[in-house]
Structure 1
């Protein structure tokens, strides 16, 4: 039983009480603003929503709505049995509801039937956030007429359709749909959700495409993950031209072949962040048989990881004397084992590029024009790359000219996928470069996974007077360090999986310790 009078209670959470019953007329909760009910009877949920403040009968008869908790702004329900539709009393009584979360309701099929849409259209004027998670029978947010998306419909029809949208979605700002395996489509009128700024869709294995009418122009963040049937995101040029999208994150969509399927379409010009991870069939960012040019002056970050079929990036050519990628500060390419080349414009245009990572791209034999383009990167602060396949041309990279470079990480083997073995590189027994080829600005230096490396050149550190952090990992044959040449500026020295060095670096006992004692942090594993 619940206490009958809880005048100061703001948040009510009732979980895993399948026998829980409530007599709504006997309880007063005048301050209640948030309700979370998980695995309780549907009738008890209704009773809690009917709880009223203690008011006299005359006021109730004068204003029937006063008996309902209109102050409730957040409702979370989960594991509610026999819940196939969103009950009418949810929207009827919670006029100030701002956020609704529905989780693990296994019988939920849709929020409303078609005939209920007009009745609900004036409800929930403050509603902004909707999250539906773990509802395996959900097929749609609400039922729609089959002819709602006819291309020849008149403006009057479109206006009527928008007026027919349930208010629970009309003013939505954030929509999340997660782990709803039967969901095949989003609403045809998704473009009419003119307040929607964030859309997250995860683990919807039956979703094959987005509505042809596109996304609302207000959408700024789109995150998609684990949608096995999804083949493309944008289907027509108007979607892209009208888009104000800033963040696009796509992960684990194995059927996705390209982001833009329309001819002549490019990425939204407003895009700032692009992240693509584990899309095994992705062949190109843009439709393959068109000019693969990217025009994203706002783009700041690009990350593409473990996309096995990706062969090239789109061209990034200057447009009207402006660099298309002038604001790009991060480019991360990892595990794209069929990537063959990167157009020169990605480096020539990216004068703001600060972080560059190229790893696990075993078919990428060289950067553009014999690696000379790296000299354009005057703002580069962090550089991570595999060099085993580039040893013969390493001197041409021109690292010394990168006066802003602070962190350098060089790996001698290639990890082509997260779940695959690393490929042996062709690196020899000695490190392929010396300090004359490195910028004097280096603060952190990582040497990783040189399986055959036995020694480091005594000249490696001669030019690194500012070096503070030195990490040597995964070099099982490395048996010596030029400890007498290590720069006095070092603050940390760490070795890991270098068994021939461990004993020599042991504190107070190792052969090298007299030369390492001045370093504040020495870690050898």
Structure 2
């Protein structure tokens, strides 16, 4: 069985910071210097942070292109970051005599991150005539709020043979993307001997003529390893193959090196595919689909480790359980009500460890699914929303939950009307961590409801909680956190377990509770108030 713990650390699920709207770059660009373009050299010790969610760009350059400035201007910054205008040559570097090597070797061998924002054209005539851009190892490209055409974007992508990561945000004019598995190779990987005239012979005709129903499309480079497309509402995926006259798998199957795919806020992306197979490559390790319409099933992707599904209409969970027998370690399902209800689990329990997050507690807490996951599910996060009327779990759901014999962490969040925990939790002998958060109507823990294995109990933002049961906390408990529960006036002081090593009540609690806990200092090793 493959080791799923050794997953590449860079393949973390993408998450926008809370202060940044999805698909907009306003908050991201304000932290950059007030320049039209910036170049950050790898030799410098300082790093410009574009956003909190992006990694520090150590050993990596950032080329920022905004408005109508050509990319080659940003490239010139790498060559001559400080120029004396009085003695500067009137000719661009690539037209100056005696300049055989336009880009320094250090820049040509460094990994570059190109960001294009708020631009109406991504390639100017200056860029096309300059061999400088061809010498750079641009492996990451971000395009924000760009009104360029599909042809222009395809042309830009064709000039970047080292590109491994592509992110496209809020480009509303883009209507179709596709992959040509056997494109005409028009660039030379040794760009030091390649000039602009030779580059013109690449796929000009191919890019200009590739169209479906008279509409152009963006041709994605086949060497991509990560692809994110967000907030492109008109974008669709070409359903047929462009390889050998339409023969082949179609969709994105030509991206055989693709490890991560995020499609967010593109409802039409999968609406036009009409072929029998699922349009994604089997190389995928992370798949994140949000706000997608038209897709009704998932085929097994044997290398998938993380699957995120949110607001995907009629998407069904068919084919997901075989994934859990392979490498799938994280499953996240929100606002997709038919995902669990229509899935048909295998008869034999799964053996690989997995964690699941879902708001479909009705579909998930069923005996067939919980039996299948009895020995593999280690973490279960259950969510709910404001319109959820659930005040307590049904007997069938409680019985199904007790089947999860390997469960170590259980979380209940945003159950606005839930008043009590499911009965029978004490029968889950493997449970170590229990979290109850943002449950407005949650009132109390029933006596003898918690398992003797529980070590960490976190209760937060539950304004209706008034008491904890006497002798209701297990003797195994090591850490107790109570945050923002103003109706709770006291703890069962005489019956706190002797195993308790940490008590945390530092946020939003009543004065009475704070006073009582201060008196316990010296009896509990750590008290945070």
TM over 0.5: yes
Q: Which has the larger radius of gyration?
A: 1
Q: 8 Å contact 2:171–2:232 — kept in the other structure?
A: no
Which residue number in structure 1 is paired with residue 301 of structure 2? 268
> What is the TM-score with the length of structure 2 in the denominator?
0.62
Matches of 2:393 and 2:446, distance apart in 1: 17
Displacement of 1:496 in angstroms is 6.5
1:459/1:312 CA distance change after superposition, 3 Å: same
Which residue number in structure 1 is paired with residue 278 of structure 2? 239
Q: Deviations over 1:184-236 (max 9, x none)?
A: 9995865xx54332211112122244544122343221112232544659754
Which residue number in structure 1 is paired with residue 230 of structure 2? 202
Matches of 2:422 and 2:284, distance apart in 1: 39
Pairing 1:182-201 to 2, within 5 Å after superposition: 193-201=221-229
Q: 8 Å contact 1:99–1:128 — kept in the other structure?
A: yes
SS in 2 for 1:88: helix
Q: 8 Å contact 1:207–1:229 — kept in the other structure?
A: yes
1:131/1:519 CA distance change after superposition, 3 Å: same
Which residue number in structure 2 is paired with residue 256 of structure 1? 293
Q: 8 Å contact 1:76–1:102 — kept in the other structure?
A: yes
Among 257, 260, 265, the alignment partner of 1:218 is: 257
How many aligned residue pairs are there?
Answer: 413
Among 434, 439, 457, the alignment partner of 1:408 is: 434
Matches of 2:119 and 2:438, distance apart in 1: 56
Give the CA RMSD over aligned residues: 4.8
5+ residue gaps, structure 2, are: 1-31, 38-59, 81-93, 190-213, 241-249
Matches of 1:446 and 1:484, distance apart in 2: 20
1:316/1:496 CA distance change after superposition, 3 Å: farther
Which residue number in structure 2 is paired with residue 66 of structure 1? 100
Matched, 1:471 2:481: yes
Q: 8 Å contact 1:14–1:37 — kept in the other structure?
A: no
Displacement of 1:405 in angstroms is 1.7
Q: 8 Å contact 2:170–2:232 — kept in the other structure?
A: no
Matches of 1:341 and 1:363, distance apart in 2: 17
Q: Deviations over 1:415-445 (max 9, x none)?
A: xxxxxxx5x46x5xxx35224x422221111
Among 306, 313, 316, the alignment partner of 1:285 is: 316
Which residue number in structure 2 is paired with residue 381 of structure 1? 408
Displacement of 1:35 in angstroms is 7.1
Which residue number in structure 1 is paired with residue 447 of structure 2? 434
Among 179, 182, 189, the alignment partner of 1:162 is: 182
Which residue number in structure 1 is paired with residue 114 of structure 2? 76
Displacement of 1:457 in angstroms is 1.9
Displacement of 1:332 in angstroms is 1.1
Q: Deviations over 1:270-315 (max 9, x none)?
A: 32211224x2x624335xxxx787421222111223x175574443
Q: 8 Å contact 2:263–2:289 — kept in the other structure?
A: yes
Matches of 1:355 and 1:409, distance apart in 2: 11
Matches of 2:148 and 2:218, distance apart in 1: 20
SS in 1 for 2:524: coil
Which residue number in structure 2 is paired with residue 7 of structure 1? none
1:66/1:103 CA distance change after superposition, 3 Å: same
Q: 8 Å contact 1:42–1:81 — kept in the other structure?
A: no
Matches of 2:75 and 2:346, distance apart in 1: 64
Matches of 1:384 and 1:46, distance apart in 2: 49
Q: 8 Å contact 2:313–2:336 — kept in the other structure?
A: yes
Matches of 2:322 and 2:75, distance apart in 1: 56
Which residue number in structure 1 is paired with residue 525 of structure 2? 520
Which residue number in structure 1 is paired with residue 369 of structure 2? 346
1:493/1:208 CA distance change after superposition, 3 Å: same
Displacement of 1:342 in angstroms is 3.7
Among 137, 141, 144, the alignment partner of 1:101 is: 141
Matches of 1:50 and 1:389, distance apart in 2: 59
Q: Deviations over 1:453-500 (max 9, x none)?
A: 433221212xx223121123454433332111112222322337775x
Matches of 1:344 and 1:228, distance apart in 2: 33
Q: Report 1 or 2 for greater relative contact order, CA contacts < 8 Å, sequence distance ≥ 6.
A: 2
Q: 8 Å contact 2:234–2:266 — kept in the other structure?
A: yes
SS in 1 for 2:316: coil
> What is the TM-score with the length of structure 1 in the denominator?
0.62
Displacement of 1:383 in angstroms is 1.0
